Structure 1
Amino acid sequence: MRAHVGDWIVVEARHLDGPRRRGQIVRLGHPDGTPPYAVRWIEDDRETVFFPGPEAHLEAEAEHAAHRHAFP
């Protein structure tokens, strides 16, 4: 996984009906875009260091904006 500052990370629920988490990458741990990432989570506006697992994927800002308009 290689990210850029401003990309969004989406963590799918691990359990049926569990919450999906979304956060924006605010800093990279390595210049090549590999984890860990500093992520600001939208549900509580907290910033954490995040090492993505298999349930996580990246969305570019344009993709995130399209999802936000499709599902307000």
Structure 2
Amino acid sequence: MAVGRTVPELLTLTEAFRTMMRSRGVGEPDEDVLEDLVAFQGVSKFVMRVKCGMLAWVAAEAAAQQAVAAG
């Protein structure tokens, strides 16, 4: 999902994913933004699994922020 996106697009996607993962399964995720990532909505119901679901996205977000900081 991250391949081919600009840094701002990646950060927006990451934040939308984080919001969904913290929702505890309440509400409907924005399928226009998250696309296939809505499949992870069920994970948000299990607090102990949210960190697992977020791992790759946190790493991608950190890499993107480092790239921006490096100029």
Q: State the TM-score, normalizing by the size of structure 2.
A: 0.33
Bigger helix fraction: 2
The structure whose residues are more often strand, as a share, is 1
